[in-house]
Amino acid sequence: MTSNTSAIHFETLEYKDESTSCEGTIVYDIHAQGRLPGVLLCPTFWGNDALARRKAMQLTRLGYTVLVLDPYGGGRIAADQAEAGRLMNTLLADRAVLRRRAMAGLKALRYHRRADGSHLAAVGYCFGGLVALELARMGSDLRGAVSFHGLLDNGGAKPPAAIDTRILALHGADDPFVPPAQAAAFIEEMRAAKADWQLVHYGGAVHAFTNPDAGNDPSTGLAYNEPADQRSWKLMSSFLQECFTER
């Protein structure tokens, strides 16, 4: 799978999570010189779909090599919302498998010829936001982890004693899937781990506020919010720049 649009190249990248074959999508600027900082793009519960690749292209235009994670293996994309929920919940029920699957993608990115393996970050959306946070929780060698309207809970696991990865959680203040109690628990977790963290609330925003395909009816719990989308993207951009230029 390739594309020449604006010199952005898309290519299927095969890698392994133990016995599970995964098919991520590596995205990079064909005119870029040398190895660039790498970003693992953790998709929503749909999997490695068109939205994930669109977000990956936007990140590539910021100057990064991006790998879209294959969370379910085999390049599987959910056929409908019910299947997406089942696939996601299977991984949520076994955080060890979820973490291992995420680490397999991070390893594939780390050793790709277009990525600087010493400058890596994870960016995730919805379910993928939780995946990015899980990578930070498990002590992976990430400069930064960004969650866009992601789940914030740790699945009841023992909180890490320390988190070295910088964390940016971009949260819809009215997201019904992440109630205030979950956000409060996340804050306490970050404090206890002495993390370098930010949790930013966007007023009036619900789940999926960065997705134009989510509709415009906040009463459903999922809706696009253009101001929150634009503001959160700018904040993420400056956050990643800071992560990759310091230390």
**Distance from C-alpha of 31 to C-alpha of 108, rounded to nearest angstrom:** 22
Fill in the DSSP letter of residue 125: E
**Distance from C-alpha of 202 to C-alpha of 177, rounded to nearest angstrom:** 15
Q: Which of 208, 236, 24, 18 is nearest to 10 (CA)?
A: 24
**pLDDT number for residue 1:** 42
**pLDDT number for residue 158:** 85
Q: For residue 86, what is the domain's CATH number?
A: 3.40.50.1820
Q: Which domain holds residue 78?
A: 5-245
Its pTM stands at 0.95
pLDDT in tens, 76-85: 999 999 999 9
Q: Is 48 helix (H, G, I), strand (E, B) or coil?
A: coil
**Distance from C-alpha of 241 to C-alpha of 146, rounded to nearest angstrom:** 12
- Tell me whether residue 41 is exposed, middle or buried, using C-beta atoms within 10 angstroms of its C-beta: 0 to 12, 13 to 18, 19 or more: buried
Number of structural domains found in the chain: 1
Identify the H or E element spanning 181: helix 180-192
What DSSP string describes 207-224?
BTTT-GGG-S-GGGSB--
Per-residue pLDDT of the chain (247 residues; tens, 9 = 90+): 444 445 999 999 999 999 999 999 999 999 999 999 999 999 999 999 999 999 999 999 999 999 999 999 999 999 999 999 999 999 999 999 999 999 999 999 999 999 999 999 999 999 999 999 999 999 999 999 999 999 999 998 888 999 999 999 999 999 999 999 999 999 999 999 999 999 999 999 999 999 999 999 999 999 999 999 999 999 999 999 999 997 6
Whether 63 contacts 74, CB under 8 Å = no
**pLDDT number for residue 4:** 46
pLDDT in tens, 126-145: 999 999 999 999 999 999 99
Angle at 10 (CA atoms; ends 4, 14), nearest 5 degrees: 155
Tokens of residue 145, six digits: 């982890």
